[in-house]
Amino acid sequence: MNRKIIKSTPFGSVGVIWIGLNDNPKIVRILLSKPGLSAEDQMSELYPKSQAFSCVEIEDIATAIKGLLEGDEVEFSLDVADLSLCTEFQQLVLRAEHRIPRGSISTYQLIAEYLGKRNGARAVGNALANNPFPLIVPCHRAIRSDRHLGGYQGGLEMKRALLEKEGIPFDDAGRVACAQFHYERIM
């Protein structure tokens, strides 16, 4: 049975869907509110039979997610996420994205090349667009090669705000202004 917990954040509500018992709970999905669609509405649509319930481990993660959205420096273990519903390729992408440290960014193309998929930028973008664990897997740290943000489940305003909280600068045209990308080849 799916269980849920909802936290209010500066970016609207965040919903955590999880399974398991207190000895080994796993997060199945994190839902971010986005313009015009709250996390609660998404939960009702996608998980209509989920029940409100929490445990210490999930409550700690939900509180850390709220803290991250408020600007706290938080790192999450990927062990809390149930990756079994993701394809093998998506798991590779999520693991690569999870390794990008706070205050760093990469591009969809560089991640694809890191994974040995030279022409796989679109596939990486699609895998991240369907990231069931935003914030735990910090997909806001992947941008387009032209330094524009690309997409984000919580909306571009949230993506930019998260990057700015991590110290990522932007130019006057709204592009990321950085000198180095994670996974960039050094010649």
CA dist., res. 103 & res. 81, Å (int): 22
pLDDT tens track for 76-96: 999 999 999 999 999 999 999
Q: Is the pLDDT of residue 68 over 90?
A: yes
Question: Could you tell me which CATH number the domain at 86-165 has?
Answer: 1.10.10.10
Domain chopping of the chain, boundaries: 3-74, 86-165
Distance CA 39, CA 32 (A): 5
Query: Which residues are designated catalytic?
Result: 139
Residues 6+ apart with CB under 8 A from 109: 121, 124, 145
> Which residues neighbour 94 within 8 Å (Cβ) at sequence distance 6 or greater?
78, 81, 83, 86, 127, 128, 131, 133, 137
pLDDT band at 187 (very low <50, low <70, confident <90, very high): very low
Q: Between the CA of residue 152 and those of 79, 141, 163, what are the distances in Å? A: 23, 10, 12
Q: Is the pLDDT assigned to residue 24 strictly greater than 90?
A: no
What pTM was computed for the model?
Answer: 0.93
Query: Degrees (nearest 5) of the Cα angle 145, 150, 153?
Result: 145
Percent of the chain whose pLDDT exceeds 70: 97
Task: List, for residues 126-166, the tens digit of each pLDDT value.
Answer: 999 999 999 999 999 999 999 999 999 999 999 999 999 99
Compute the distance between CA of residue 70 and CA of residue 64 in angstroms, rounded to an integer.
Answer: 10
Band (20; pLDDT cuts 50, 70, 90): confident
Tell me what pLDDT residue 16 has: 96
